[in-house]
Structure 1
Amino acid sequence: MNKRCTFYLLALLLPLFLLTFAQADASAQTSSESNTYSKEEIQNAVEGFFAGTTRGLAEILERIFADYGRPQGYIQGEEAGAALVVGLRYGQGFLHLKGMEPVQVYWQGPSVGFDIGVNVAKNFTLVYNLTDPNLIFQRFPGLDGSAYIVGGLSMNYQKSNEIVLAPIRTGMGLRLGASVGYLHYTERKHMNPL
């Protein structure tokens, strides 16, 4: 084959080759999007759960999406906590993964730090890198800061292996401080926070 024929053959095959890769990439992105929640889906779920949105809540969602993108799931629940340097937190809710039935989850955990007060909160947690609901049942360490004086809003990240949780809490009570601890997610309610 002469050089001219080789050039024409490459000129014909190259666009076909590039089109095949572009279609494969678009297919992978569509598949990824079908297993995750869009920003609009999460905003609607948050708005329904918290009975409206505030500017602070919208800014928190923007930050989480900027940091981690589209979540595979979310947990909607309630929790209560108290602290006097050493704190405890107990909660329950439902884990929603895209395309799966909701799974009941419970969480409890200790914390220690400059933290004092009591609070009850609604909890909306974005869940990343979780494809099997059974993998939620483990301990997730994290740092937490709270400022509840009658009402308040807080968010932190918890990470275990590749799974990332981003709990958003809005609550009532009198609590102020910062602490380090973990939450243990379980299938059944436990009184022992460890």
Structure 2
Amino acid sequence: MRHLPHCSLPLLRSLAVAILATISLVSALRPAHAAGEYSIQEVVDAGHGFFGETSGALAKVIEQAFEQNGLPNGYILGQEGSGALIAGLTYGEGTLYTKNVGQHDVFWQGPSLGLDYGGNGTRTMMLVYDLPDVDTLYARYGGVSGSAYIVAGVGMTVLKSRDVVLVPIRTGIGARLGINVGYLKLTRTPTWNPF
């Protein structure tokens, strides 16, 4: 103790207690934030269970979504059908899964316009980022649907409404080729109106 600057023992104890309290507080806060988010393994497992075995393509697409957007705090599993001849329509339905507020039905529909033709039926997983509450999910999400990241028949796009980001990941049958601009409107109940 001879080499320490002149400090009182009670002051050193107080400093040590303050440091330990700060470390404990930071450690306690971190898991509370992460408790509402899904890890990459949880999402990959849910995707494999929903899509069936789609080799490593699904895992690669999910990994790309995580690299771009981080940890989602929800995801939607559902199915959709779409068709286009320059103008197109998409209709789908599924279930939103969250760790904090449970499961909720969700329906989506949307128009598109562009160099696009064909039709398809797909199983869809949508990763949901920065969702503050379930009511905020029901909105219009815009994006360029042709800006897809595709690996072995599994593709993803990125759509946004306010601060909420949706990353639809699709695999299915049929062919819809091209680049289009459109949006998806998510609703609580089914509707034929895509606008």
TM-score, scaled to structure 1: 0.89
Deviations 1:170-192 (A, max 9, x none): 01112111111110001111111
For residues 93-172 of structure 1, the aligned pairs below 5 Å read 93-145=94-146, 152-172=153-173
Indicate the RMSD between aligned Cα atoms, in angstroms.
Answer: 2.0
In the aligned structure 1, how far is the partner of 2:26 from the partner of 2:162? 27
Task: Give the C-alpha shift of residue 101 in structure 1.
Answer: 2.8
| Equivalent-residue separation in structure 2 for 1:53 and 1:98 (angstroms) | 26
Aligned length: 188
Residue 176 of structure 1 pairs with residue 177 of structure 2: yes
- Kept in 2: contact 1:97–1:133 (CA 8 A): no
Aligned match of 1:4: 6
Distance 2:77 2:21 in 1: 41
Structure 1 unaligned runs (5+)? none
Whichever residue aligns with residue 7 of structure 2, its letter is C
SS in 1 for 2:101: coil
What letter matches 1:182 in structure 2?
Y
Change (3 A) 1:65 1:15: farther
> Do the aligned partners of 1:79 and 1:122 also contact (CA within 8 Å) in 2?
yes
Taking a change above 3 Å as real, the CA distance of residues 131 and 191 of structure 1, as seen in their structure-2 partners, is: same
What amino acid is aligned across from residue 4 of structure 1 in structure 2? Answer: H
How far apart, in 2, do the equivalents of 1:14 and 1:112 lie? 64
TM-aligned CA deviation for residue 9 of structure 1: 5.5
Tell whether the 8 Å contact from 1:144 to 1:178 is kept in structure 2 after alignment.
Answer: yes
Specify the alignment match of 2:83 in structure 1. Answer: 82
Q: 1:18 to 1:67 in 2, by over 3 A?
A: farther
Indicate the percent of aligned positions where both proteins have the same amino acid.
Answer: 39
Structure 2: 5+ residue stretches without partners: none
* Distance in 2, Cα, partners of 1:55 & 1:179: 27
Alpha-carbon distance, 1:88 to partner: 0.8
Q: Separation in 1 of the partners of 2:147 and 2:78?
A: 18
Residue 119 to residue 175, structure 1, CA distance change in 2 (3 Å): same
SS at match of 2:189: coil
Q: Per the alignment, in what secondary structure is the counterpart of residue 5 of structure 1?
A: coil
Mapped contact 2:147–2:157 kept (Cα < 8 A): no
Change beyond 3 A, Cα 1:160–1:25: same
